[in-house]
Amino acid sequence: MMRRESADLVLSASWIIPVEPAGSILEGHAIAIRDGTIAALGPAAEIDSGHAPKERVHLDGHALVPGFVNAHTHAAMTLFRGLADDLPLDAWLAEHIWPAEARFVDAAFVGAGTRLAVAEMLRGGTTCFNDMYFFPDVVGEVARPAGMRAVLGLIVLEVPTVWAPDRASYFARGLEVHDAFRGDDLVATALAPHAPYTVGDEAFERIRGLSESLDLPVHVHLHETEHEIEEAVRETGERPLARLDRLGLVNPRLAAVHMTHLLAEEIDKLAARGASVLHCPESNLKLASGVCPVPRLVAAGVNVALGTDGAASNNDLDMLGEMRTAALLGKLEARDATANPAERMLRMATLGGARSLGLGNRIGSLVPGKSADAAAIDLRGPDTQPVYDAVSQIVYAATRSHVREVWVAGRRVVRDGVLETLDAEEAVREAGEWRARIR
Amino acid sequence: MMRRESADLVLSASWIIPVEPAGSILEGHAIAIRDGTIAALGPAAEIDSGHAPKERVHLDGHALVPGFVNAHTHAAMTLFRGLADDLPLDAWLAEHIWPAEARFVDAAFVGAGTRLAVAEMLRGGTTCFNDMYFFPDVVGEVARPAGMRAVLGLIVLEVPTVWAPDRASYFARGLEVHDAFRGDDLVATALAPHAPYTVGDEAFERIRGLSESLDLPVHVHLHETEHEIEEAVRETGERPLARLDRLGLVNPRLAAVHMTHLLAEEIDKLAARGASVLHCPESNLKLASGVCPVPRLVAAGVNVALGTDGAASNNDLDMLGEMRTAALLGKLEARDATANPAERMLRMATLGGARSLGLGNRIGSLVPGKSADAAAIDLRGPDTQPVYDAVSQIVYAATRSHVREVWVAGRRVVRDGVLETLDAEEAVREAGEWRARIR
């Protein structure tokens, strides 16, 4: 008789979409999970007969996908969701967001805003987020008990804020956060210089050195608007990407957010250097920043990830909506209905994100050896029927509310649409208190 | 003592957004409904003390809006949802959609597809749809018992189909449908010539005459792609809109769908003649057709409505998603983050649609004397909190799943997210049978 492997969970669904290999949609398959890791993936009968799991779950009419990686957000800004919409980027920042931040942001704000964001993201199938905000230690302390993966941005700015009074302090506090989470299973860190227009060469040089010695991603807003590039050229004669290249930062650890204005040679350089682009289509549209040329980046071989940006400029943290917008916008940008196909958007929202954060060997696809981070999307309702192609249905028809079950490292964090690891009602109550103060 | 008016229902919500007057968000208000009509709207205390209703409903944390008007769809095409995505418009039509239609479309197909569509639309807060497809009689017979408003497109084409063998038959069958639903409270009709490239001048002239004598809207695909216009100019020397104008069709009854390519003088002409544009942003993006210049149309004074198009090119019938996409796309088109603000999108999705269909005096806003067609959107969850501006939250953060209660002409058709007037499970089962055949 065949030896049965132990397993914590055997999980099957009508469709399993592993993302690797590309284009694969598996029917009648299952995965076995042991110690938080995918131990096996195969035909359900084989997985069943080969394992003696503690628990079996079958999700009829559901599609199982890798948990989404939200590659760029400012989680705590959920507390500003809808505070100031339909405004130009400069007025939005200078007259609304920055004053509100100066007045209200502290550790408690970040805790409350991040709890609300984590509740929204986990509920919508996002299992990992790459954050950039003040008090990244607080972000980590919220994510960890909620069972959510986070990459904490060790923010660097050259202006004093409630987080740090000067450049040296930003680095010192950032490195404290890095040390505090070193070796954590769920929480990692990235260097997060805010943007070329708020960070000087000296700081960027130190960031390059730390990035190399600590093997950390460099998460930076870059080429968000035409105005940013024009100003840089006017003041320094250099485009921001060229400047980062001169400083040695355009390499596989670069995770460059937005990139809405790119020359052909810049696309080639990003590809040649192995840098990643973090695409935030809804934020770029809402602030009229421009359009990231995703089809051309992909054609050149650049790794592209997908992010929502903060809820103040989106206004949700919804990777399903973001995939759809990215697909539609790419077709417009390329004037080609075959551009940004559904399968590629799902890959961007999962494996693309993982790779951009240096986590490509641990998460982003459902393959044996990787962490069991997965989301199940219920396609049985009238608005997602009939199903000819489960990936098409997920990208073009489903909403975040169709996500019903979520696991991170094998731990079930959402069960039938309800969060198991965070008190969502308490997060909403807290957010209401902040609103009363901020309004 | 004050006399108390009778009422069937007094309905209050945390926010009532009547759409008229523009920009109004009422807190602490209620509406009284009698015989399917809004009898009164005012402060909750006044409405309460002035009415003795059979039922009172208070929706805490919900926003009450006019039911959405989906101004352009092919409802039955839900059965092709996801059948052929990420393809160019010509290949999509010629190699996938038209062959599938030729092979499968009949009255039973239209019944099943429309049931699925009506389930999806009502559930998502859409209370009226403007349809264009074969067997409009069947569409009406599905919508009526479901308690949904429909405008049946009396389709005209110059090619034989399962619906009619020739031009005369299209008109004859269409007029039969018109007569069958004449005087119906929920179901109206519109003349629906498919497009300038499929309908000749003689047919358009007859449509103009019928439109005048029967006072019917003319629902037509127009300027969907640059190719359509170029072909028309090459073959006839005339742009399609100029041709319809020569034939006397550019007037307040014209409901022109898509309009992605427009000259400045065409925008002025549409405004001067009082014609409506039915904007379908997601379909235009998905098929890479182009972008309707909505901010310029609105600035010129053109009435703009919002539609999803059919589920084969969208792939959902979701007016919440469509409002968001329209807002975001308008900002890109205008290169201006203030363009297509949230409040205007809600107006397009309700009153704009109603006016385009000649129903502006009956539906599209929550004002006394109009039909009680309304949807309640639950904003209490973590993904729509906190609420600074309920309209912004609806357009930029909510999904169709946040719609929890829907009324049409005072009849409750959705209660706590569950359809009361149509068996959604049966519609899904039927759709599954069609899928098995079509696949």
**By the CB < 8 Å criterion, does A243 face chain B?**
no
User: Average pLDDT of A83-105?
Assistant: 91
Longest dimension (CA), chain A: 75
Q: CB of A327 within 8 A of CB of A342?
A: yes
Distance from the Cα of residue A95 to its chain's centroid: 28
Q: How far is A381 from chain B (nearest CA, A)?
A: 7
Interface residue A418 vs chain B (CB under 8 A): no
Q: Which chain B positions have a beta carbon within 8 Å of A85's beta carbon?
A: 341-342, 389, 392, 396
Calpha distance A376→B311 (Å, rounded)? 23
Secondary structure element (H or E) that encloses residue B46, with its range = helix B44-50
Does pLDDT of A312 surpass 80?
yes
Q: Cα(A70)–Cα(A354) distance, rounded to whole angstroms?
A: 9
Per-residue pLDDT, A93: 87
Q: How many CB pairs under 8 A join A and B?
A: 209
ipTM exceeding cut-off 0.90 for this assembly = yes
Which residues of A fall within a CB distance of 8 Å from B427? 382
Residue type (1 letter), A206:
R
Rounded CA separation A400/A126 (Å): 10
Q: Which residues of A touch B124 (CB under 8 A)?
A: 383
CB contact under 8 A, B116 and A85: no
Q: Is B93 on the interface with A (CB under 8 A)?
A: no
Tell me which residue in A314, A383, A434 faces B316 most closely, judged by beta carbons: A383
How far out from the chain centre does Cα B222 lie?
Answer: 17
Q: What is the pLDDT of residue B439?
A: 87
- Region A156-177: what's the mean pLDDT? 97
Determine the Cα–Cα distance for residues B412 and B403; give it in Å rounded to an integer. Answer: 13
Beta partners for A73?
A131
Instruction: Find the closest chain B residue to A121 by CA distance.
Output: B383
Q: Is B269 helix (H, G, I), strand (E, B) or coil?
A: helix
- Cβ–Cβ of B315/A392 closer than 8 Å? yes
Q: Where are the alpha helices (DSSP H) in B317-404?
A: 319-334, 342-347, 353-356, 390-396
From A335, which residue of chain B is nearest by alpha-carbon distance? B288
Whether A121 and A64 have beta carbons less than 8 Å apart is answered as no
Measured between CB atoms, which of B86, B399, B424 is closest to A401?
B399
pLDDT at A3 over 90: no
Cross-sheet strand order for the sheet of A149-156: A68-73, A126-132, A149-156, A187-193, A218-222, A254-258, A276-279, A303-306
CB contact under 8 A, A382 and B427: yes
Structure tokens at B220: 């037509």
A386:B329 CB<8 A: no
How far A204 CA lies from chain B's nearest CA (Å)? 31
DSSP B371: B
- C-beta separation of B348 from B360 below 8 A: no
Q: How far is B213 from chain A (nearest CA, A)?
A: 38
pLDDT at position B2, please?
A: 62
Q: Residue B236 belongs to what H/E stretch?
A: helix B226-236
> Rounded to an integer, what distance in angstroms lies between the CA atom of residue A414 and that of residue B103?
43
Residues 4-63 (B) with a CB less than 8 A from some CB of A: none
pLDDT at A427 over 80: yes
Q: Is B125 left (phi over 0), alpha (psi -120 to 50) or beta?
A: left
Q: Please give the backbone phi and psi of residue B421, each rounded to the nearest 5 degrees, phi first.
A: -120, 0
Cα of B388 to nearest chain A Cα, Å: 6
Over residues A113-161, the pLDDT tens digits come to 999 999 999 999 999 999 999 999 999 999 999 999 999 999 999 999 9
Distance to chain B for A161, nearest Cα, Å: 25
Closest CA to B241 of B210, B207, B275: B275
Q: Given a cut of 90, is residue A90 above it in pLDDT? A: no
Residue A1 has pLDDT above 60, yes or no: no
Q: Which residues in chain B have their CB less than 8 angstroms from residue A317's CB?
A: 383
pLDDT, averaged in runs of 10, over chain B (439 residues): 86 98 97 98 96 97 98 98 91 91 96 98 98 98 98 97 97 98 97 97 98 98 96 97 98 98 98 98 96 98 98 96 98 96 98 98 98 98 98 98 98 98 98 96
Closest C-alpha to A390, from A80, A59, A118, A65: A65
Nearest CA in chain A to B401: A401
Q: Are B252 and B275 in contact (CB under 8 A)?
A: yes
Q: Is A396 on the interface with B (CB under 8 A)?
A: yes
Q: Is B114 on the interface with A (CB under 8 A)?
A: no
CA distance A394 to chain B (A): 10
Q: How far apart are the first and last CA of chain A?
A: 68
Whether A431 has its CB under 8 Å from any CB of chain B: the answer is yes
**Nearest residue to A69 (alpha-carbon basis) of A327, A365, A301, A330:** A365
d(C-alpha B258, C-alpha B432), whole Å: 31
pTM: 0.98
3-state DSSP helix/strand/coil % of chain B, to nearest 5: 45, 25, 30
**Do A385 and B314 make contact, defined as CB atoms within 8 angstroms?**
no
Which residues in chain A are contacts of B327 at CB distance < 8 A? 86, 286
CB contact under 8 Å between A432 and B120, yes or no, is no
- In the numeric block, which tokens belong to residue A333? 């940008």
pLDDT of B66 = 99
Query: B128 near B353, Cβ under 8 Å?
Result: yes
**How many of the other CB atoms lie within 10 Å of CB of B97?**
21
Q: Which residues of A touch B338 (CB under 8 A)?
A: 86-88
Instruction: Please state, in angstroms and rounded to a whole number, the distance separating the CA atoms of residues A148 and A146.
Output: 6
Quick check: B101 and B113 in contact, CB under 8 A?
no
Q: Quick: pLDDT tens for A391-412.
A: 999 999 999 999 999 999 999 9
The string of DSSP letters for B195-234 reads -TTTS-HHHHHHHHHHHHHHT--EEEEES-SHHHHHHHHH
**Cβ neighbours of A389 in B, within 8 Å:** 82-83, 85
| Terminal Cα-to-Cα distance of chain B (whole angstroms) | 68
In the predicted model, what is the mean pLDDT of chain A? 97
State percent of chain A over pLDDT 90: 97
Question: Which of B79, B321, B387 comes nearest A82 by C-beta?
Answer: B387
Are B120 and A342 a contacting pair at CB < 8 A?
no
Q: Which of B385, B391, B400, B425 to mutate to test the interface with A (most CBs of A within 10 A)?
A: B385
| Closest residue by Cα to residue B304 from B279, B269, B329 | B279
pLDDT in tens, A237-275: 999 999 999 999 999 999 999 999 999 999 999 999 999
Residue A115 Cα distances to A110, A155, A180, B402, angstroms: 8, 19, 20, 21
**What is the number of residues in chain B?**
439
> Residue B163: helix, strand or coil by DSSP?
coil
Say whether B424 and A282 touch across the interface (CB within 8 A): no
CB contact under 8 A, A432 and B401: no
Please check whether residue A310 touches B, CB under 8 A. Answer: no
Of residues A291, A400, A439, nearest to B332 (C-beta): A291
Could you say which of A92, A116, A328 has the minimum Cβ distance to residue B382? A116
- Chain A CB contacts of B421 below 8 Å: none
How distant is the Cα of A116 from the closest Cα of chain B, in angstroms?
6
- Full 3-state SS string of chain A: CCCCEEEEEEEEEEEECCCCCCCCCEEEEEEEEECCEEEEEEEHHHHHHHEEEEEEEEEEEEEEEECEEEEEECHHHHHHCCCCCCCCHHHHHHHHHHHHHHHHCCHHHHHHHHHHHHHHHHHCCEEEEEEECCCHHHHHHHHHHHCCEEEEEEEECCCCCCCCCCHHHHHHHHHHHHHHCCCCCCEEEEEEECCCCCCCHHHHHHHHHHHHHHCCCEEEEECCCHHHHHHHHHHHCCCHHHHHHHCCCCCCCEEEEECCCCCHHHHHHHHHHCCEEEECHHHHHHCCCCCCCHHHHHHHCCEEEECCCCHHHCCCCCHHHHHHHHHHHHHHHHCCCCCCCHHHHHHHHHHHHHHHCCCCCCCCCCCCCCECCEEEEECCCHHHCCCCCHHHHHHHCCCHHHEEEEEECCEEEEECCEECCCCHHHHHHHHHHHHHHHC
